[in-house]
């Protein structure tokens, strides 16, 4: 049934057309007919080879309207910082005890934040957290003495992004229940963050292709010429 709905949805769009953000959002929001609140997803093909360190694209962006997703945050901290994390809404706070739980298979969280003094403990979890993209990183603000602020930012809809091997960055940037304006604002904020994260080793066209879709809906190509600083979709 879902396959038929997707086929019907594709009949209503021009798969070769480059839509403005506002056009794409209107179509995608109108096509999201699932019984659950579909996630609005963005996928960006970049002209980089992330195997080279000077072409890695990674960062974090605070979406103006959040993601609509409840984010579970684990924090490595002790003493006053642990208390600050709990007050800020962290879902689980610990130190060596938390490391033991994670080594034992506990992974019920979406983001990991650590105070700098806990990195000796967290560092030993690299093989577990690293492949899942969960390792705290000072450049992303997830290793910080201000763990309370970091927890609040994560809960408010801050999104981490990292280019994959094929040169693609993808993320959930909202829900179908959001207003068209809110989704469009989030798209622009996300693309802007990627643009600002352009690495020194990137040559030629940085943005090759950008597409927007809902969980169960068709993908629409975006004309991002007006979204970025002189970069156009190929």
Residue 214: both structure tokens together: 């809902």
**pLDDT tens digits, 175-184:** 999 999 999 9
- In whole numbers, what is the pLDDT of the chain averaged over residues? 89
Q: Which residue's entry shows tokens 């309370």?
A: 148
Delimiting residues of CATH 3.40.50.790 domain(s) in the chain: 73-155
pLDDT of residue 16: 72
pTM of the model: 0.82
pLDDT band (50, 70, 90) for residue 233? very low
For 59, the 3-state DSSP assignment is strand
Residue 71's alpha-carbon distances to 67, 122, 164, 188, in angstroms, are: 9, 20, 22, 22
Residue 213 CA to residue 19 CA, distance in Å, equals: 12
Domain 14-67+158-222, architecture per CATH: 2-Layer Sandwich (3.30)
**70: closest CA among 154, 160, 181, 130?**
154
Residue 104 CA to residue 118 CA, distance in Å, equals: 19
CATH code for 73-155?
A: 3.40.50.790
Delimiting residues of CATH 3.30.190.20 domain(s) in the chain: 14-67+158-222
Residue 67 CA to residue 48 CA, distance in Å, equals: 26
């Amino acid at each position: 049934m879902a396959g038929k709905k997707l086929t019907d949805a594709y009949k209503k769009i021009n798969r070769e057309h480059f839509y403005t953000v506002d056009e794409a959002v209107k179509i995608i929001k109108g096509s999201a007919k699932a019984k659950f609140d579909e996630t609005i997803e963005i996928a960006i093909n970049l002209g980089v080879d992330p195997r080279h360190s000077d072409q890695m694209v990674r960062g974090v962006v605070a979406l103006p309207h959040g993601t609509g997703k409840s984010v579970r945050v684990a924090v490595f901290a002790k003493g006053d910082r642990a208390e600050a994390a709990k007050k800020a809404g962290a879902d689980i706070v610990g130190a060596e005890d938390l490391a033991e739980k994670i080594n034992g298979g506990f992974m019920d969280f979406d983001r990991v934040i650590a105070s700098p003094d806990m990195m000796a403990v967290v560092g030993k979890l690299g093989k577990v957290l690293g492949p899942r993209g969960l390792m705290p990183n000072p450049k992303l603000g997830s290793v910080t003495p201000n763990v309370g602020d970091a927890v609040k930012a994560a809960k408010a809809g801050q999104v981490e992004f990292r280019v994959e091997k094929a040169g693609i960055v993808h993320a959930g940037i909202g829900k179908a229940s959001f207003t068209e304006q809110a989704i469009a604002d989030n798209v622009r904020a996300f693309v802007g963050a990627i643009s600002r994260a352009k690495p020194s080793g990137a040559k030629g066209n940085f943005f090759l292709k950008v597409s927007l879709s809902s969980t169960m809906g068709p993908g629409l190509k975006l004309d991002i010429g007006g979204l970025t600083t002189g970069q156009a979709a190929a």
